[in-house]
Every structure is written in C-alpha cells, then in structure tokens.
Chains A and B, each alone.
Chain A
Amino acid sequence: MQTATREIAVSMTGISKRFGPVRALENANLEIARGSILGLVGQNGAGKSTIIKVLAGIIKPDSGTIVINGEVITSLTPASVEKLGVHFIHQDRLLVPTATVGEAVFLGHEIGLGPFVSRRAMERRAADLLKRFFGMELPPGTLVKDLTTAQQKVVQITRALAQKASVLVLDEPTAALVKREVDSLFDVLRRLRDDGIAVVFISHYMQEIEKLCDRVTVMRNGTDVGTVDPRQTPIDEIIAMMIARDVGEMFPKRSVTLGAPVLEVSNLRLGGSFENIGFNVRAGEIVGLTGLLGSGAKEIVQCLFGLKTADGGQVKVEGRELSLSTPVKAVRDGIAMLPEDRRAHGVALGLSVRENISLASLRRYSRSGMVSRGAENQAVDGLIKELSIKTPHRDALVRELSGGNQQKVAIAKWLSCQSRVYVLDEPTVAVDVGAKVEIYNLLNRLAGEGAAILLLSSDLLELVGVCDRVLVVYRGRLASSFSGPAMNSDALLAASSGARSNTDGVAA
C-alpha cells in the first residue's frame, strides 16, 4: 500500500449532521488523496450526497473537522471552497442554458478588461482547453443548450480545470452518458489524476468503480463503513458493505391474498426509452419497478399515466383496454399517480390541504358544478384523520406542512378518488423515516383493499421491504424479476447495474 506516501488534499473527520429527527451523517469520515481517484458508494440516503454537500459548503455540519490542503477550515461557503481549489460537478447540469460555451467555462471568472468582457478571448481560451483536455472541437459561440448531456458535463469539468482545480468531485457523472462518452470521460479523469489532481467519483455503477477508482469509500446509514481497493475486493463484498441488514421493523409485514390482474401491460414500447415491456399487477399486489437513471423505468411509469404516449403496446385496467394519451384519461380510467417531483406535480403548495385533497375528485363533492363545502369538508376531515396528516386545520396551506405530510396530502388526493391502480414514483424521497413507515403502512392498506400498486423506486431496501415482486429495468428492457427469498438488495443492485440477470421470472 502506498497510502503513506500519498498527500492528503481533503480530510473530513467526525462529521455529524441531523435534520430534525433524522440523522443524515453520524461521525462520518472522508479522506481524499492527491493523484488518486476515490470512489464513493452507498445506498440512497446513506449520506453520500450529504457529506459532499458539507464539503461544498451547502450544508453546515453540526460537528466535525474539515482540513483542506493542510489547513483547518472553520466555515465553508460554496464560494470559499472553490477558492481552495475544490470543484464539484453536480448531477443535474448547473450551466446557464443560453450562455455560450466560453461564457459557461468562465462564468464568475470572466476574461476581460475591467467591466468589459472579452467574449472572443473567452471563446478562444475555452476552445483551447476543450481541445487540450478532451480533444473536443465545437464551433465558436455554441450555446450550452445545444450541447449533448455528455458535452455539457465536459464543459463543466473544463470550467473547474480553467480555475486550477486541485480536487474534483463528480456526482454520478456517467448517468446520462453512452458507453463511448463514458470511456473518454474516464481517460480524462485518469489523465487528471496523473497530473496530481484528487478526484472523487460518486456512482451507482459498480463496474465503473472497479474500472476507474484507486480506492472506494463505502457509506451506510450516515457513516463510512470502510475504504477498500476495488481491484482487490470483489464487487459482491462492496455491495454487502453498502447494505444494512437491520431495517426489518421499518417495513410492516402484511399477508394478502392476491386477486385477479388489475393492471395488465403488454408489449409496451417507447422509442429511445424502452421496448417489449409486459407485466401484470394483481389486486392486492405491490409490484416494484427499478432501474438506474436512463434505464427506461421512469418512462414506463410516465406512459402508464399518459404523461408520455407510448409508441405501441397495450395497457388494460380490469380487462378494459385504455388509450393513455393524457393524465385526464388516465385519471378517468382509475389510475392514480404519485409523482416524484412533489412540489411541481404532487401538491400545490399555495393551496390549502382541503383544496389539494379534493382536487382530483371535486365532482364527487359537487352538484351542478357547485362545490358542496359540507360534503367536501367531511371527506377531507376523514382523510386527514385516516392518514394522520399533521396540519393545524384543513384550510392551512400545504406549504406549511412537513415533506412527509405533504406527501400524505398527495396520496389523500387519490384516496378520495377511489382509484384502482396506484402508480408511485419515488414516494419516499425527501420524507423522514417516521413518515416513510406511515406511507408503507398506507400502501399495505391500499393493497389490502384490493388496489394494484406499482412502486417505482431507486431505494432497493424499500423495494425489498415493501414489494411482493420487483421488476428490474436495464437499458430499456425488463431484465429480471425477483420475488420471495431471491429478492434481496444485492440481487437488485447487481441486476440494475447489469452485472447479473435473472430472466426466468420475468413473465410472472
């Protein structure tokens, strides 16, 4: 081991951070060495992104020490950390879409004289840098929005390099890239490492970690559980380190007898996203759907609610074939959708709890177009009580509620509709643990009442804990289906990253 000779660029020790009752980080450590590529892996919610946000100065830790370039740092801000040479390539592109490549690369560090910006110089310098580091040539003045996702990533990295980055943190940089682009990105990162830059690489793809990283730090439950050399440690062992096995009580058990198929999907396809998708969800069944970003799992769910129109295939609810072209029709046909982006699509923050809950079912509480407040209030009060939504009163704005309670309002909206099929897209993201358990209980109850539930989630523990069956989508196809004892997070993780497949059960 050459650890002793390596120079430490960033050292974070004993970092703890709580959000209300939730422990996001508990005594977590992270050490980033110059001239090496460090992988950072862990389940969703393990604390990866929290510790990175602490380093980025976005989140203030409750306790812990951060040393950057041998200097103890007492307070970090996003601006000061960049001055220290630590740069972040975040998962969602953070570039101004209408800027030119030159403007994007030198944003905040414009080249020019006094208040005058020399656009030509910036375009030229940016072009030089892109060519030198990536061998990439773009027409001068190209706009960011006209670039591919991979090119945008490259521009972001170039921006960091232009500012003499000594530490580069990349959060899921390959999620939206194709193989060839991934390879050239890896070449760039290796070259940067050889130039002495410290690289942190966050990824869900185990093969990428194995191929690229010199060391990998595994996080679980808000702390680092170990740092190993991925070339000498089998992937299975790393996965085992990632998965906590003591969460049984989080997932309430249930016993149901499954009924007839309620949702039947066959041969569904959408160009560029997925093809040949077929599965059933029976009454009382909770079926999980998972896949990495870009696998097509998300698009399948969007097609089922009419948000995207499938190019072909059949969707039946209780034997009746649906034409899913808009959410209007999907709702009419008894499909309820809990969208991932709660604030944009799930609940209207500026409306009251009452107005949100009754929104999809107003016709039930109205006569000749007029809302009957009495009937509405009665139904809403019933649901507030039933789901134990913590709100001062039914007319409080949803904005005032916690994330978990907002999500319960979004679910209550569909309960008052009496839908037959519930499609849930990442229902427990940004929801605290207590509310998670309540949402799981709610899913169980809905299933118990004969609803068919399709749960799209990237939280593998959640899928294993809640679902009767989990379908894994890999590169636009149903790669595997797991149920019973074969359904565990190791297998799901392996299947969604393409390491293993298990096609025998897909047709179930």
Chain B
Amino acid sequence: MSVSANDNSAKVSVRGFLAKYSVLIAFAVIVILFAVASPTFLTPANLFNVLVNNVVMLAIVALGLTIVISSGGIDLSVGVSVDMASMIFVMLLAAGYGGVVGVAGGLGAALIVGILNAILITRLNISPFLATLGVLFIGQSTQQLATSGGQPIYLTSGYAADQFNAIARTALFGIPTPVLVLIVLVIAVHVLLHRSVFGRYVQAMGAQPGVAWYSGIRVPRELSMVHVLCALLAGVTGILLSSTVKSYVPLSGNAFLLDAIGATFIGTTLSRERKPSVIGTLLGVLLLAIVKNGLLLVGWNFYWQQVGIGVLVFLVLAASFGLRRAAH
C-alpha cells in the first residue's frame, strides 16, 4: 500500500484538476465539437449574434431567478413580467409617448407583477410556487384581454422604431447597448447577492428560513424585495425584447421561464458550494445558448434541438458529477 501512495496522490491531483475545471472542459469540448461540425460556428459574427440574441435577454431574466432561488423560492411569473413590461412599453410608444416614459411605464408594469407576488407570498403566506403560478395564469389572460385575444402590436417604422433602435441598435465603445445593460446588471446583482447585507439575508433565508427569522431578520420585507427585484429584471428583458423585434407579441415572455430556471439550476449544480450564484447562472445561460446555436448551425430542426439540449445538459452535468466524485 505504501508503495503506491505516491502514485495515488498524483492520480488524485489529476482528478482534482479535472473536477475543478470540469465545467470549462465540458464547455471546451462542446465548442470544439460544434466548430468542427459547422464552419460558421466559431466566426466572430456568429458569436456576436449568440451574445446579443440568445444570451443577453435570457441572462437578465436568469439573474432575477438566481436571487429568488437563492432565497429558497421560485418565480414562475417571470414571463408575465417580461410581457407586461413589453406590452406597456410598446403601448405607450404607440400612443406617442417618448422612450423614457415608455421604459418607465414598462418597468412600472413589471414592478406591479413583483409587488403582487410579494403580497401573495409574504402577506397571504401562499407558497412561492403557487402564488407565482397564479400570477402567471392571471397575467396571461390579462394580456389576451388587453390585445383582443392576443393580437401582436407591430411598430416597425416611424417615431417608435427610432426609440426601439435607440435601445437595441446603439453601441458604446463598440459594445451594443443591450450587452452593456447586461454587464451592468451582472455586476450589480453579483455585488447585491454576494457582497451586500441584503444578499446575506437572502442566502440565510434560502439556507434555513427558521434561522433567519430567529436572528431578527425581517423575512417578509426581504422576501418582498427579492420578488420585486426579480420582476424588475424580467421587465428589463421585456424592454430589450420589444426593442429588438420592434413589436409586442403576447405571451412571448414564457419562452424564458424554463431556460432561465434551467440555467440557474445548472449553475447551482456546477458550483462547488451547490448554491445559486451569478457566475454559475451565467455559465448556465452560456451553455444553453451555445448548444442551441450550435445545433441550429449543424442543421437540426427545432424539435431535434430540444432533444439535443436535453441530452447535452445531462451529459455536462453527468461529466461534472463523475469527475467530482472521482476526485474524492
């Protein structure tokens, strides 16, 4: 036994290395596979397209969900927040209001969704799952009622289009505005969740709500803040979405829900402490976005893409688990 001790420790450190960087290795493997399969995949134009169209909006919604999931809750109504912001924003522009009023109105609509969630969860003590599910149903019907059964609103030219372009088609130092918005929000949420007193309270509520309450933390107030922030972040995505497609399409926000939850949990699973984190969520979003784009370029149709995403997510997680277990 003692003879092989050295040998073993060397093996352990190789495994340790693999475990530590398993996520990056998995990423690299996926990127290489797609690069080989599709010549356009690794081109700057494509990567830029992935970033602007697949990453930014999903990532902002996922940031909000990261806060909620850290607190031990869930928000199934993020799609409604996206849609409400989008709807009010577009309606205000259609009515001739300026971009600033439109954005403020859109975020205000998302804020109302967040406050509704907060009241249901902290005042009426409804579980976050059921409360936000109820708001999801109500929000979807509201949109259909407000748009005569789900008629989209297109504002592809004129004054409104200029306002949209000012948000989606501008850039600062060559960085598109939506990407800048994402960068600012990532830093802000990271600081909030991992550096601030509020973030610490959120983590405590998520880890053991009883302990938070017994430590004198105003759990209802902090939890309300959590849900309001999540809805507001989803609202930002709603504004960016409308600005990009120059329209409001009812019920389009729900597309973000499962991807955002998936990205957050992928991030949680990959993180060493098994806790939701901003960095982990970003990795999850990138993984989903790259796989989607890659499968599209390889020529898979939409339905097979879903299968591919499912399988790849399993493979990455399984590889990460396997390597981690091997390291112990």
Contacts and interface: CB of A to CB of B under 8 A. Distances in A.
A328 B217 CA distance: 6
A272 interface: no
Contacts of A348: 204, 207-208, 211-212
A5 B104 CA distance: 90
B165 interface: no
Contacts of B204: 348, 351, 355, 359
A351 B203 contact: yes
Nearest to A417: B216
A355 B195 contact: no
B197 A370 contact: yes
A211 B118 CA distance: 56
B214 interface: yes
Q: Interface size for chain B: under 10, 10 to 19, 20 to 34, or 35 or more residues?
A: 20 to 34
A341 B196 CA distance: 28
B154 interface: no
B15 interface: no
A347 B200 contact: no
Contact of B211 (A331, A347, A363): A347
A339 interface: yes
Interface in A329-354: 330-332, 337, 339, 341, 343-351
B207 A350 contact: yes
A359 B211 contact: yes
B214 A350 contact: no
Given A327-B216, A345-B211, A371 B203 contact: no
A359 B217 contact: yes
Contact of A369 (B198, B214, B218, B275): B198
A363 B197 CA distance: 7
A475 interface: no
A359 B207 CA distance: 12
Given A327-B216, A328-B218, A360-B216, A344 B210 contact: yes
Given A359-B204, A362-B200, A370-B196, A346 B214 contact: yes
Contacts of A118: none
A339 B208 CA distance: 14
Given A355-B203, A359-B217, A371 B195 contact: yes
Contacts of A332: 216
Contacts of A328: 216-218
B208 A350 contact: yes
B208 A349 contact: yes
B210 A331 contact: no
A413 interface: yes
Contact of A359 (B200, B218, B275): B200
A503 interface: no
Given A328-B217, A332-B216, A359-B215, A370 B207 contact: no
Contacts of B275: 350
B216 A346 contact: no
Contact of A366 (B197, B211, B212, B213): B197
Contacts of B200: 355, 358-359, 362, 371
B14 interface: no
B258 interface: no
The SS class assigned to the A binding surface is helix
Contacts, number: 73
Given A345-B210, A347-B211, A355-B204, A370 B216 contact: no
Contacts of B210: 341, 344-345
Contacts of B195: 370-371
A360 B200 CA distance: 11
Interface in B257-296: 275
A331 B196 contact: no
B207 A330 contact: no
A327 B208 contact: no
A350 B211 CA distance: 11
B197 A327 contact: no
**Chain A CB within 10 Å — which of B191, B201, B207, B210 has the most?**
B207
Nearest to B219: A328
Contacts of B207: 348-351
A327 B214 contact: yes
B192 to A, nearest CB: 9
A348 B202 CA distance: 12
Contact of A327 (B191, B201, B203, B213): B213
Interface in A1-31: none
B214 A371 contact: no
A62 B45 CA distance: 70
Contact of B208 (A344, A360, A369, A413): A344
Contacts of A371: 195-197, 200
A345 B203 CA distance: 15
Nearest to A359: B215
Contacts of B213: 327, 345
B197 A345 contact: no
Contacts of A413: 215
A347 to B, nearest CB: 6
B271 to A, nearest CB: 13
A349 B195 CA distance: 20
B47 to A, nearest CB: 34
A366 B211 CA distance: 20
A241 to B, nearest CB: 39
Nearest to A344: B210
Contacts of B197: 362-363, 366, 369-371
Contacts of B196: 366, 369-371
A355 B195 CA distance: 12
Nearest to A366: B197
B214 A345 contact: yes
A360 B204 CA distance: 11
Interface in B191-248: 191, 195-198, 200-201, 203-204, 207-208, 210-218
A337 B218 CA distance: 16
A360 B215 contact: yes
Given A370-B191, A370-B196, A330 B211 contact: no
A317 to B, nearest CB: 14
A339 B214 contact: yes
Nearest to A360: B215
Given A348-B208, A362-B197, A371-B196, A337 B214 contact: yes
Contacts of B203: 351, 355
A323 B71 CA distance: 28
Given A344-B210, A349-B208, A358-B200, 10 more contacts: A328-B218, A339-B214, A348-B211, A351-B203, A355-B204, A359-B215, A366-B196, A370-B191, A370-B197, A371-B197
Interface of B: 191, 195-198, 200-201, 203-204, 207-208, 210-218, 275
The list of the 7 closest CB pairs from A to B, nearest first, reads: A331-B216, A348-B208, A348-B207, A350-B207, A360-B215, A345-B214, A345-B210
15 contacts: A305-B214, A327-B214, A330-B216, A337-B214, A344-B208, A345-B211, A351-B208, A359-B204, A359-B211, A360-B215, A360-B217, A366-B196, A369-B198, A371-B195, A371-B196
